[in-house]
Amino acid sequence: MPTSHYDYAIVGAGAAGLNLVLTLAGDPYFEKKQILILEPDAKVANDRTWCYWEKGKGQYDEITTKIWPKAKFIYSKDEIDLEMSGYQYKMIQSANFYHHAKKVIETKGNVTWVNDKVNTIEESGSECTIVTETATYMAKFVFDSRISHEFHNNNDKYLRLLQHFKGWVIRTEKDCFDESAFTMMDFRLKWPQSTSFMYILPLSKREALLEFTFFSPELVKESDYEEYIKKYIEDILNLDDYSITSEEKGIIPMSNFPFHHANTERVTKIGTAGGWVKPSSGYSFKNAINYSKQIVSNLKNGDRPDHKLFKKRFRKYDALFIDVLWHNNELGEEIFSDMYRKNNANRIFSFLDEETTFFQEVKIMNSFRKWPFTKALLRSFTY
C-alpha cells in the first residue's frame, strides 16, 4: 500500500530522477525501502535525444537507437577522423528511456509514481516535508530536479554561458551521409565572432539530425538557427532535395554557478539543478548514470548523499574554460581545434568524464594556447 511516509522522494522524472530511481530499484539493498516519484508531466513525448560516449556494453544498449563507432571534428582548415580507442557514441531517444523506466518501475512494489507538481520542500529533523499541488508527503531523503530561483535570478558573480541549439532531422532522396561517423563539431559555418558549429548525427545514409549550436552568453532568434541549418545543407552538403521530418531545440546551462551549495544532509539537488551538467561540454546523461551510482553507494554507506559527487580540480578546469569562452567567445574554433588536433579521443573523452590523471590533464592543457587561459586564471583570483 502506498504511504505518505517514504524513505526516498525523487522530485522530477527526467534524465537524473529516472537514472536515480532505476539505480535504487535495481539494488536489492533498497527492496524494503519506500520510494516516491513526483512528476507533473506524463513523460511520454520524445522531447530530446541524449547522446554520450561509452566503452563496450552499457546498461541502456537495449533501448539505444543508434551507436556510432567513428567520429569527425571539422574546422575551417581540416577534417579530423577521431581515433575512438574503443569508445562508441550512443544515442537514446527520451521517449524510449521514459517508457523503459516506467516498465521497470511497474514491476517494483516499493516505487510509487504520483503525477503532481512539487511546490515546496522543507527539512526538519530526520524528515522532509514535501508540499505538492494536491497533497503533502514526508520523506527521509529528497532528490530534487527543480532548478533554484537563484540560478534564474542571474544576480551574482557567476557566469552563465548557454549551450543553445535548434536541429532538424532531414531526409534526402539520395545517399549522402556516412552513417558510421557522427560529427562532434563542424566549424565551417559560424555565426560571426562566436563559438558556434554544426553537430551532425547521421541516422542512416539518407537521414540525419543537424543541429546548429552555440556555446555563448546570448540566445539568437529561432529563424537564425534555421537560416544557418539551411545554409549548411545547401552550401556545405550541396543538397537541395530534402525534407524536414522533425525538429529539436534546447538550452543547456554551461555555468560555474555552485549548484551543489543548495545540497543539505537530506535534500540533494540532482540533474541540471544539481550541477550534473558538465559545464564545459553541456553533457549530463552519463553523469546522471555515474552520479546515481555514487548516491546509491553513499546511502548504503550512511554517508551524505552528495558525498564525493564532484571533483574539485575538474570544476576548476570547467570554470576556466567557461571564463575563456565568456570573455573571448570568438576563440571557440581555435580552442576546440587545438584540443582535437593534439589529443586522441581516448584522452579527451576520459578527461570530460573526469577520469584522467593529473599528468594526462597537463597534456590536454598544454594543447591549448596559453594567453586566454592565463588571463582566465588571473581573473579567477578576483572571484
Ligand X SMILES: Cc1cc2nc3c(=O)[nH]c(=O)nc-3n(C[C@H](O)[C@H](O)[C@H](O)COP(=O)(O)OP(=O)(O)OC[C@H]3O[C@@H](n4cnc5c(N)ncnc54)[C@H](O)[C@@H]3O)c2cc1C
Binding site for ligand X (CB under 6 A): 11-17, 38-41, 48-52, 117-118, 145-146, 248, 250, 252, 271-273, 283-285
For the residues of 78-118, what is the DSSP string, one character each?
A: EEEEE--TTEEEEEEEHHHHHHHHHHHHHT-TTEEEE---E
Strand pairing partners for 215?
Answer: 163
| Pairwise CA distance, residues 255 & 258, whole Å | 8
- The residue (of 49 and 280) whose beta carbon lies closer to ligand X is 49
- The residue (of 39 and 306) whose beta carbon lies closer to ligand X is 39
CB of 90: closest distance to ligand X in angstroms? 10
| Pairwise CA distance, residues 183 & 198, whole Å | 8
CB of 160: closest distance to ligand X in angstroms? 15
Residue 19's CB is within 10 A of a number of other CB atoms, namely 27
CA separation, residue 263 to residues 148, 177, 193 (Å): 11, 45, 38
CB of 134: closest distance to ligand X in angstroms? 12
CB of 165: closest distance to ligand X in angstroms? 8
| Pairwise CA distance, residues 156 & 134, whole Å | 34
CB of 161: closest distance to ligand X in angstroms? 14
Q: Which residues lie below 8 Å from residue 315, measured CB to CB, with a gap of 6+?
A: 256, 279
With CB atoms as reference, the residue minimizing the distance to ligand X is 14
- The residue (of 14 and 202) whose beta carbon lies closer to ligand X is 14
- The residue (of 14 and 372) whose beta carbon lies closer to ligand X is 14
Contact between 229 and 157 (Cβ < 8 Å) = no
- The residue (of 226 and 248) whose beta carbon lies closer to ligand X is 248
Q: What amino acid occupies position 370?
A: K
Give the residue among 239, 238, 380 at the shortest CA–CA distance from 321.
380
| Pairwise CA distance, residues 243 & 237, whole Å | 14
CB of 250: closest distance to ligand X in angstroms? 3
CB of 254: closest distance to ligand X in angstroms? 10
| Pairwise CA distance, residues 237 & 177, whole Å | 9
Strand pairing partners for 246?
Answer: 169
- The residue (of 320 and 352) whose beta carbon lies closer to ligand X is 352
| Pairwise CA distance, residues 158 & 255, whole Å | 7
- The residue (of 142 and 233) whose beta carbon lies closer to ligand X is 142
- The residue (of 91 and 331) whose beta carbon lies closer to ligand X is 91
CB of 308: closest distance to ligand X in angstroms? 20
